[in-house]
A and B are shown apart, each in its own frame.
Chain A
Amino acid sequence: MKFFYIYLLFSLSVFASNLSDIYKLYEKQEYEKGCDYGEKYYTKNIDNENYLTFYGLSCLETNSISRLAQPMVKLGGSRELRETASYFATILLQKQLMKQFLIDGKELGNLRLPKTDFVLSRIFNLFVKKEYSIKKDIYILVDKEKQDIRYEVYIKEHNKNRNYMIIDIYQNDKFTKRYQYN
């Protein structure tokens, strides 16, 4: 009987709503956990667009930005959700284009992609406007709107087939955050 209760308790915890769990993780700003949790129960909540939104938003704040593709293709039930899907798609595209620019030297030219408030998007726009300086293969960018913030973008070779794009953020010359995208 004791084991049965334990089993029941365990099963109830297993079948609790994933949405509330992911929301709580997002609220606590535990993005890494939220992103992993989102991926874990993705197939189970494939039709829950709120869940997918939180999954994407959690992953956006981590280095696993490529996971955005999963919720991105499934969102589209309402106007807001469609915009969120475009938001994810834009960020992913900008990341890929930036990598092309940094590794292959492909010019970004006069590209006019949608603007977002995400760091990567802001850096991309600075690259398009050619508002950067190069110092020892490191691109240094300063946002005009936020003068105290400086971005340093460079490529770090992991192995022959894989390169990481590193974005270091400095505020008042103090290192604050690093994004590392593969």
Chain B
Amino acid sequence: MINTIELEKRWLRYKTKIYRSLFFIIFFILAIPYLSYYLFQQYTLIIAKEKSISKVEREGKPMSLKDEFVPKIENKVENVNDVVLAPSIPIIDFNNEKQIDNRIAEKKKIEQKRVKEKKMEQEKAEKSRLEKKQAYHQRIAKRRALKRKRALEKKLLKKKSLEKKLSEKSLPRKRKLIKAKGSSALTSRDLGVVSHTNIDRKESKKITFHTTSNNYMPIMKRKFEQNKNAREAILIAKAYYKAGNYVESEKWALVANNLDKNSEESWFLFAKSKAKLGKKREALKILISYHKKTKSPQAKELIDKIQSRSI
């Protein structure tokens, strides 16, 4: 029978032998570089120490390596002296300080002066700017006032001219009726008046034209009967009034008024005709009631005229 235990032992020995040799090989591979590096460092240290020793020996002070690297701390502490500190109070030269003070003060004075001047200049500039602004504003205000004045004058003038026109309208025209010519052609006698040789050219002459004809009334009346227009009735009343036929004028004014109650002219003609006929109170009554209703300034004017008996 085979002895297995003995065989196993032999096998184990064989294996350990193999592994041991492998371990040694790996160990040497790893250890050799480290070992060589360590040895190199040690060698350089030894060389450095040898150099320093030889230097000390050269200076005539032989010293052992041991002495150099072990400091004697206790001896050192005993030999240290106490440091005593004291403040030193500075000596001040007051004359010099005064001079410095004066210099500083002068400097500051100059600076202040400069600042003041600058400020004044700024103020001046500001003042002039303000003045300019004020002048500009004044100029604008003046211009505006002038414009306003002109506009007012214009307005007044307009008003005056209007008033003038109205007064002209309201004034009774002079009864300067020229008899119309029968024929349209002018005679040599009529022309002779125009061909006057001694005409003063500088003198301005007011020429008033009056258009009328003998058959004016019948034409107008016919027209009125056709149209039944208030305007035509007023024109007829006007014509009668101008001709001095106040009864007819009153009648036609009433007709016109019946057709158009808002026609101012019909009211006025009616009142004026009444006044001319001596019925001033009635005329005033009518006008006052009309004035109350319409607040017409022309009615007021007419009232005043009737009251002052200028009609």
Residues of A at under 8 Å CB distance from B?
8, 11-12, 15-17, 19-20, 23, 49-50, 53-54, 56-57, 80-81, 83-84, 86-88, 90, 112, 114-117
Contact call A53/B85, Cβ cutoff below 8 A: no
Which residue numbers of B lie inside 8 Å of A, CB to CB? 80, 82-90, 92, 94, 97-98, 100-101, 104-105, 108-109, 112
Q: Are A53 and B105 in contact (CB under 8 A)?
A: no
CA distance A115 to B86 in the complex (A): 9
Give, as a whole number of angstroms, the nearest-CB distance from B107 to chain A: 9
Q: Contact at A84–B82, with CB atoms within 8 Å?
A: no
**A90 contacts B85, CB within 8 Å?**
yes
Complex: chain B residue closest to A12, CB-CB: B105
Q: Are A112 and B80 in contact (CB under 8 A)?
A: yes
Q: Which of A17, A57, A87, A116 has the most CB of B within 10 A?
A: A17
- B134 smallest CB distance to A (angstroms): 28
Chain A residues contacting B82 (CB-CB under 8 Å) are 112, 114-115
Please report whether the interface of chain A is mostly helix, strand, loop or mixed according to DSSP. helix
Find out whether the CB atom of B86 lies under 8 angstroms from the CB atom of A16: no
The 4 closest A-B pairs by CB, nearest first: A114-B83, A80-B88, A50-B90, A87-B85
Q: List the B side residues contacting A54 at CB < 8 Å.
A: 90
Task: Say how far B281's CB is from chain A's closest CB, in angstroms.
Answer: 86
Whether A11 contacts B112 by the Cβ 8 Å rule is yes
Whether the pair B88, A15 counts as a contact (CB closer than 8 A) is no
CB proximity of B146 to chain A, nearest CB, Å: 45
Contacts of A50 in B (CB 8 A): 90, 92
Question: Are A16 and B87 in touch, CB under 8 angstroms?
Answer: no
Task: Say yes or no: B104 contacts A115, CB within 8 Å.
Answer: no
A79 to B98, CA, bound (A): 26
